Structure formats: C-alpha cells, structure tokens
Amino acid sequence: MNQPSAPPPQRQRVAAYAVVRREDGALLLTRVAPEVAGAAGRWTLPGGGIDHGEDLRAATVREVYEETGLHVEVGAVLDVRSAHWVGPRPDGVVEDFHAIQVVFEAGLRPESRDVEPHVTEVDSTTDLSRWVPWPEVAGLAKVPLVEHVVALLTA
C-alpha cells in the first residue's frame, strides 16, 4: 500500500539588491560563482539574503560591500519581486521555495569612488564584480543576466 508522500519542506528567502550606477552610466554587477547551480556565470545586481532581524537597508549595504568592496548609501525602493518554485536544491532535496527580492537604488559613498570592485567575502556565491558599460547591459546578449535583473531592466 502506497502512502501519500509528505509535501516538500517550505523555505522562504528575503533578499535585498542594489542598482548602483556610475556617473558614466555603467552599472555595478556581480557574477555568480561556478559552484552555484542554475545561475553559475550569470551576472546579477549586488545583494543577497537578509539575516534574521536585519534591517533591509543595512543588509543591502553589507551585501554590496561583501560582493564588491564598495560602500554605498541606499535610497528608494525601485522594485519588489517574488519567485516561487518547487524542485530539487543542489543537494538533491526537493523543496517548496519562495524568494522575495527587494531592489533599492544606491549611490557610491565618497570613499569608494576610486575603488575598483572586488569580492571581499570568503566562500562567496559571487566570484567577480565589475562596472559594466550600459550599452553591454542594455543589449542583454553581451552580458548573461539572471532572470530577475532582466525583468527589472526591461520593465
């Protein structure tokens, strides 16, 4: 006799991202590390998961620094998105996953204006950060972007 299988465990992740532009229009992007299944090698906005109890804007500042080595001031919310899927994680466990993504505008703090982007976090899901000229980003073909960044930039 077959027993019905239990529903997959539910997991929710709230993340904050920043749209940071340089005076020449270049956009600050980060590349997803090779070990990240499903998005490896694609480019995204700097940002990431919010720690329990952490302020959204403080998390954005922290995440931008970890992924780019740059200090920013966070401004207005540009967009809030969510994604939901059921499927296997990289370790094979099937889960019911809900992602909430808050996107802020942000500007460079003066002490970071002459700093080249560089990843500061050890064991990061980001392996590279750089300023990408706007024509490369807008063309979408030259820079492989993760889906939520494409949706934001084409909205």
| pTM metric for this prediction | 0.85
Alpha carbon dihedral 133, 102, 52, 129, in 10-degree steps, equals -10
The yes-or-no verdict on residue 104 having pLDDT over 60 is yes
Q: Rounded to whole angstroms, how far apart are CA atoms 59 and 56?
A: 5
Which domains, and CATH codes, for the chain?
15-154 (3.90.79.10)
For 89, the token pair is 């994680």
- 91-106 mean pLDDT: 91
Report the helix count and the strand count for the chain, using DSSP H and E: 3, 7
pLDDT number for residue 155:
60
Q: Which residues make beta-bridge pairs with 12?
A: 98
Q: Which amino acid is at 67?
A: E
103 pLDDT higher than 80: yes
